Amino acid sequence: MIQQLLKRIVTKDGISRDDAAKMILTADPLDLLLHMEQVWSSATSSAADEARSKVWALGRFAPYVVPNGHRAWDHLGYSYALENTRAVQILRRVVRGYRSGESLGIPKAATQRWLDITEALLFGATSPVAAWLPASEVRRSAEDVRRNAYDRIFGVQLAFGTDDNQASTYEKSNVTNTNFVRLFEELLFEVWQAITNVKNQSGVNSTDDDRIFRLAQELAFVLRSRRLQNTLDREELIAATALGWTELTFNADTPVIQDLGVQGTNEAARCKALGQKVGLPAHSKSEALFGMAVDLSIFLRAIEADVVTKETAWVLYLELQPPGTPLPAPDPIGLESRRLITEWAAATGKDLKTRAKAVEIARPQLVAVK
């Protein structure tokens, strides 16, 4: 949501991305929260009651409105990838260090503004809409809510416990998508086979469009089964906002990075350096996790959006539309898929470019039922 807002500011105002980022980084937290509610209203339409619409329109970012019906925030997969770097827990320690004493020094004005926004977006300090707070007495912390959502949609947990290295005690769901990872990795394998054969005009072509379609379809069923009646959409938006803010924090030498004297040449390096500073090591594969977040979001959203059909499985592995497609023709997501395969393999240590287990041709035949 934050990164999409940055893009909308650049497009609408015609300013540089640095200036747009500065506008967000120095914004009032209430303005960002109002915009988040505005994005939610645009996506769901049903929630656009009159009073609320007027309240949302008061925010500084109200002009950068999203068209109705558009879910202009990242898929939960984006949040999962970024949260696995442990960046949120590292920022929690930074906030605690600054708010509870002077162990990290005295924050400058820009850093204090950053602290305000971080507490609001990540740790539930304020919200203009109490009924839609990301956490409550029942749902204890925003992190636990996200952990619950990751578990339900992807059937996975984060790679670490709480920030004091205890096992997380988030509320477990009775239903989770335990077969998501298997399907997802099988699909990535098939997509890689197709990518390697895109320019193959003469040899044996192992591209299997029908299998790609079936895997994508099954994955879509699995993902949608946890999203009936827009379930978990709200949690997804809140997670995307929190992690979008986290990504923005590490995108550059932002005020807090400068104030803390952390050096790094990219997001992952800054995150690791900051983790060392506050005594909480970041994930060793942070580079891959930061690198895949956006592509994973686009890939999963494409799966859910019914873009992949029986005849158009190529959308997952081509980089351009087939010749003769009427213009304007949006690019297929081949580039994103390729990057995702590379980074997912790096992060998980699984080689998705080769089949883990060969097909057994000498398998015993089924025994006849007697």
Partner 1 sequence: MATQPPGGPKDDTRAQLMQMRNEIDRVVATVNQLVTAQAVENVLMNGFSDLTGELHRHLEPLAAQLEPLAALAPPQRKKMEAAERQRLADLRADLKRESWIGPGTPAVSRPGLDDRSQLYQMD
- In eight-state DSSP terms, residue 328 is S
Which structure tokens are listed for 140? 């204890």
Residue 306 Rama label (left phi>0; alpha psi -120 to 50; beta)? left
**CB-wise, 177 or 254, nearer to partner 1?**
254
Nearest approach in angstroms of CB 78 to partner 1 is: 9
- In eight-state DSSP terms, residue 131 is G
Which residue stretches of 197-254 are H helix?
A: 209-225, 233-250
**CB-wise, 79 or 127, nearer to partner 1?**
79
Q: What is the largest CA-CA distance in the chain?
A: 81
Name the residues that contact partner 1, by CB under 8 A: 3-4, 6-7, 17-18, 21-22, 25-26, 66, 70-75, 109-110, 113, 197, 200-201, 204-205, 207, 209, 248, 251-255, 257-258, 264-266, 270, 294, 297-298, 301-302, 305-307, 309, 311-312, 314-315, 318, 321-322, 324-326, 328-332
**CB-wise, 136 or 325, nearer to partner 1?**
325
Nearest approach in angstroms of CB 43 to partner 1 is: 9
Nearest approach in angstroms of CB 61 to partner 1 is: 16
Nearest approach in angstroms of CB 243 to partner 1 is: 14
**CB-wise, 169 or 200, nearer to partner 1?**
200
Nearest approach in angstroms of CB 161 to partner 1 is: 30
Within 10 angstroms of residue 273's Cβ, the number of other Cβ atoms is 18
Nearest approach in angstroms of CB 107 to partner 1 is: 12
**CB-wise, 68 or 225, nearer to partner 1?**
68
Residues 6+ apart with CB under 8 A from 291: 268, 339, 343, 346
Cα 195 to chain centroid distance, Å, stands at 24
**CB-wise, 170 or 294, nearer to partner 1?**
294
Please tell me the distance from the alpha carbon of residue 26 to that of residue 29, in angstroms, as a whole number. Answer: 9
List, as one string, the DSSP characters of 284-326. Answer: TTHHHHHHHHHHHHHHHHHHHTT---SS-GGGGT-SSPPTTPP
